[in-house]
Amino acid sequence: MTSIAPLTSSTTRDSVDRSRSRTGPRGTAPTTRRNPFWELARVEALLFGRSAGSVVWTALIPLAAVIVLGAIPGTRHPSGSFGGRSALETWLPVLMMYEFLITAANLLPAVLAGYRERGILRRLSTTPVPPSRLLCAQALIYLSLALVVDVVMLVIAVVAGTPMPDQFAGFLLTLLLVAAATLGIGLLLAALAPGEKAANALSLVVFFPMLFFAGMWVPRSEMPDALRVVSDVTPLGAGARAVQDTLDGHWPAVTALLVLVAYAAVFGTIAVRRFRWQ
């Protein structure tokens, strides 16, 4: 019996030590190490969600436009004014392009330029988390939102009578390339802008011409031949053309895809070389 007590006491101490190592000091819950990138992305997403204006402009406005177009019977039927397509089929690709433009080329540059102007990027560079992670987190938030909203708009349009893209892989490929192209443009604007106000000004200079060539005010089917050729070599014009091809049951035009790849590669490369963290 005298030999059992020390063994029991030692075993109990070992069990307590192992228990404390699992639960932390004084029985507190175990601490789990979170991935720095995903933690940063979560914080940035919360900050974005608190900005009511950003959420409205990026999500609710294009969704509301598609719902209105789908609810009006006259916009769901083919019309000679739109090249044999319905108004909903005509403006659906344009609204999808709008979503990428407003997120990547308007909101993203202002946020990054504002962070640089307030010294956030400079302070972040002194921590173990490199500023490049902030850049990736911002891109993930805005472009993921654009992709989700575009898919939701497609579902609404299909329910309203728009045919589902036969080439769905081509449809997704087009959206990814548009995301890459607009991200390259947005990063270049953020690289050139010294502050948030300058970024907003540069974004407006880009915003309206790109929307025009995408067919926002004059449908691409109604554009003169020369104007349509110009539209085909703009990022949103090429994107709208490729999305329209998938809605018509065809694989996206190779030239349209190549235009998007070129914009993503050229503008992305220049943006990376010119981007300043402070």
Specify which of 12-26, 28-42, 73-87, 162-176 reaches the highest per-range mean pLDDT: 162-176
- 274 or 174, higher pLDDT: 174
**What confidence score (pLDDT) does residue 129 get?**
67
Residue 241 pLDDT level (bands cut at 50, 70, 90): very high
Per-residue pLDDT at 156 exceeds 90: yes
Both tokens assigned to 277: 């963290």
Contacts of residue 27, Cβ cutoff 8 Å, sequence gap at least 6: 19, 20
Per DSSP, the residues of 103-138 read IIIIIHHHHHHHHHHTTHHHHHTTSSS-HHHHHHHH
Give just the sign of the alpha carbon dihedral 170, 173, 178, 181.
negative
Which pLDDT does position 8 carry in this prediction? Answer: 40
Q: What percent of the chain has pLDDT over 70?
A: 86
Q: Give the per-residue pLDDT at 123.
A: 80
pLDDT digits (tens, 9 = 90+) for 96-120: 999 999 888 888 888 888 888 888 7
Cβ distance 67 to 154 under 8 Å? Answer: no
pLDDT for residue 27 is more than 60? no
pLDDT at res. 52: 67
Residue 12 pLDDT > 70:
no
Tokens at residue 162, please?
């728009």
pLDDT tens-digit profile of 179-196? Answer: 999 998 998 898 888 888
Report, as an integer, the average pLDDT of 163-169. Answer: 88
Quote the strand ranges of the chain, DSSP E.
none
Please name which of 70, 82, 51 lies closest in space to residue 196, comparing C-alpha atoms: 51
pLDDT digits (tens, 9 = 90+) for 191-240: 888 888 899 899 989 999 999 999 999 889 889 999 999 999 999 999 99
Using the predicted structure, report yes or no on whether residue 1 has a pLDDT greater than 70: no
